Amino acid sequence: MSTHYKRNHTIRERIKCSDCKKTFTSKESLRTHLYVHSEKDGYVCTLCNKCFQCSKVVTVTHTDIKPYVCNKCGKSFSRSSNFKTHLNIHSEVKPYRCTYCEKSFARLNGLKVHLNTHTGKKSFTCKLCSKSFSQETNMKRHLINIHSGSKPYTCKECNKAFSDPSTLKSHMSVHSDNKPFCCDQCGVTFKRKSYLTAHLRTHQTTPKLYSCSECKKSFYYKSVLERHKHIHTGEKLHVCKYCQKCFSFPFSLKKHIYIHTGDSPHACKVCKKKFGSSSEVTRHYNAVHLNQKPFGCTKCEIHFFSKYHLKRHLKSVHCDSN
What whole-number percentage of the chain has pLDDT above 70?
83
Q: Which domains does the chain have, with CATH numbers?
A: 2-62 (3.30.160), 96-203 (3.30.160.60)
User: What average pLDDT does the segment 154-178 reach?
Assistant: 79
Sign of CA dihedral 26, 27, 28, 34: positive
Q: Is 295 helix (H, G, I), strand (E, B) or coil?
A: strand
The top-scoring range by mean pLDDT among 29-33, 133-137, 295-299 is: 295-299
User: What average pLDDT does the segment 29-54 reach?
Assistant: 63
pLDDT for position 1: 46
Average pLDDT, the chain: 77
For β-strands 76-77 and 68-69, DSSP reports them as: antiparallel
pLDDT for position 93: 77
- The tens digit of pLDDT for each residue in 69-119 reads 888 788 888 777 778 877 877 777 788 888 887 788 877 878 888 888 787
Q: Does residue 48 have a pLDDT over 60?
A: yes
What are the C-alpha distances in Å from 55 to residues 47, 51, 68, 154?
14, 9, 17, 48
Q: Is 32 helix (H, G, I), strand (E, B) or coil?
A: helix
